[in-house]
Amino acid sequence: MRILVVEDEVDLARTLHTGLTAEGYSVDLAHDGRQGLWMARSGDYAVVVLDLMLPGLNGYKVCAQLRREGNATPILVLTAKAGEWDQAEALDTGADDYLAKPFSYLVLVARLRALVRRAVAVAPPVLAVGDLSLDVAARICRRAGARVDLTPREFSVLELLARRAGQAVSKADLLYHAWPDDALDPNLVEARVSVLRKKVDAVFSRQSLQTVRGIGYRLVDDREHG
């Protein structure tokens, strides 16, 4: 699951990148409003964390422009402007939540989880491919009713495959979705898929996670072959 952080304080942005990556998210960074707007338009993000006082284009304008374009990605405003008028303006321009600096990292992560839960409440709350199910908000995987313990990275890989069930998903797409920006080695994907096969297929004598030669992988409902 990917998060976009638009923050011009480089040290804070890096801290958020490190912390959220440890939580299992993949995090992209932008340091000015124009870059943030472009990335929010072009990326598939679960949440955008948006500072208000940005160079180039302030956070109010970024938020308002995204909403005018029909972009419904949840937006958490993170800013040093803590006045009630600032908070009201941020919410009126389309932000979903507001957190003033300095902030508790524990509260930030909890609010991000809440925004994700609200977003998936609009979409199907559980991704199902045959008897394999993923509860995206709770980060729980089950096969034939039995819980399968996955690491955050494994869950992210399987989530993208489940969202594109039956389709070939490239290793590059899986890297982009499940790893930080500097991850470029497709062997990372191969190793993670190998572990996933053991956990969600081999234990259940199944073959739902398939290799697509020259491309990547595909997740299918293989119950008729089980």
Strand partners, 148: 141
Cα of first residue to Cα of last residue in the chain, in angstroms, is 30
Longest dimension (CA), the chain: 61
Structure tokens that stand for 25 in this block: 């998210």
* Residues 6+ positions from 206 with CB-CB distance below 8 Å: 143, 200, 222, 225, 226
pLDDT attached to residue 159: 87
| 3-state secondary structure at position 180 | coil
Q: Give the C-alpha separation, 226 to 219, whole Å.
A: 14
Q: Given a cut of 70, is residue 15 above it in pLDDT?
A: yes
Q: Please write the tens of the pLDDT for every residue from 103-154.
A: 888 999 999 988 887 776 555 568 899 999 998 767 889 999 999 999 888 9
CA 178 remoteness from chain centre: 8
pLDDT attached to residue 221: 94
Q: E strands along 130-193, which residues?
A: 132-135, 140-143, 146-148, 169-170
Beta-strand relationship, 209-212 and 169-170? unpaired
Single out the residue of 126, 123, 82, 84 nearest to residue 100, CA to CA. 82
Q: Given a cut of 90, is residue 210 above it in pLDDT?
A: yes
pLDDT attached to residue 181: 57
Give, in order, the Cα–Cα distances in Å from 190 to each of 1, 130, 137, 214.
19, 23, 26, 13
pLDDT attached to residue 205: 93
Q: Give the C-alpha separation, 199 to 44, whole Å.
A: 27
By CB atoms closer than 10 A (0-12, 13-18, 19+), residue 61 is: middle
Is pTM beyond 0.85? Reply is no
Residue 177 or residue 9, greater confidence: 9
Specify whether the backbone of 139 is left (phi greater than 0), alpha (psi in -120 to 50) or beta: left
pLDDT attached to residue 226: 45
